[in-house]
Amino acid sequence: MEPKNLEIEWRHLEKEGKTCERCADTGRELRIALERLVEDLEPQGWRVSLKETLLSDAQLQESNSIYLNGLPIEALLPQTSKSENCCASCGDLLGFPVLCRTLERNGQTFEAIPAAMIVEAARRLIETRTKERGVPMEIKVLGPGCPRCQQTEKVVKEAVAEAGVAASVEKVTDVMKIASYGVFTTPAVVVDGEVKSVGKVPSKDEIKSWIQK
């Protein structure tokens, strides 16, 4: 079986053992994301690794960037693009005014890359790779076990059976794992890493529209 590897590369400036504040913040967020991904993906047979690439002054334009299996994070996230703004911390570090990378998404500027965006990008990458391989769809029902959560699981399994698609259905009750999807109201349904429904019991027709492509 082909190994399933997810390499997350973090490229950032280092000057005399120091980096700028926004890169340091990204580093903290990255390690939070890595912990979540290892916990979630390794039981599924994925090997998750971190590669840290230190950049010189001449490579400053690449600083504070994240690549997943060689793809820039902004290429994996919808409505996301790279931009730049003035970085006072890098200016102090290098001794001259500096423009540093940022991410723009839905009208919001991110100087440090949040853990939630890194996790989302990883899940989107894995979803794409899974589809390319023809691997069975992965459906997760998020919820602590309330009656509506149980009903959602039942409806999802019935919809999968009626649709005749190859899919696994997993019930996720751990609060931290649920929160890692950005979900704070349950029940919720996740299909191949993408949140499809939050806070309600979806109908069979809705579920079939997600899984029949």
Single out the residue in 129, 158, 183 at which a domain terminates: 129
Phi first, then psi: give them for residue 178, nearest 5 degrees: -60, -45
Task: Please say if 146 is a catalytic residue.
Answer: yes
Residue 113 per-residue DSSP state:
P
pLDDT of residue 1: 43
Single out the residue in 129, 144, 172 at which a domain terminates: 129
Residues 105 and 23 in one domain: yes
Contact in structure between 112 and 22 (CB atoms under 8 Å): yes
How does pLDDT run across 17-52, given as a tens digit for each residue? Answer: 888 899 999 999 999 999 999 998 888 788 899 999
pLDDT of residue 213: 60
CA–CA separation, 51 and 200 (whole Å): 40
Does the pLDDT value for residue 204 go beyond 70?
A: yes
What's the average model confidence in pLDDT over 123-128?
84
Residues 123 and 148 in one domain: no
Task: Please say if 86 is a catalytic residue.
Answer: no
Split into its structural domains, the chain has a count of 2
CA–CA separation, 120 and 122 (whole Å): 5
pTM of the model: 0.65
pLDDT of residue 24: 93
Residue 95 per-residue DSSP state:
T
Does the pLDDT value for residue 82 go beyond 50?
A: yes
Beta bridge partners of 108: 105
Question: 61-75, 116-130, 192-206: lowest mean pLDDT where?
Answer: 116-130
Q: Which residue has the tokens 């580093």?
A: 27
How does pLDDT run across 164-183, given as a tens digit for each residue? Answer: 777 889 999 999 889 888 89
Rg (C-alpha) for the chain, rounded Å, is: 20
Amino acid 158 reads: E
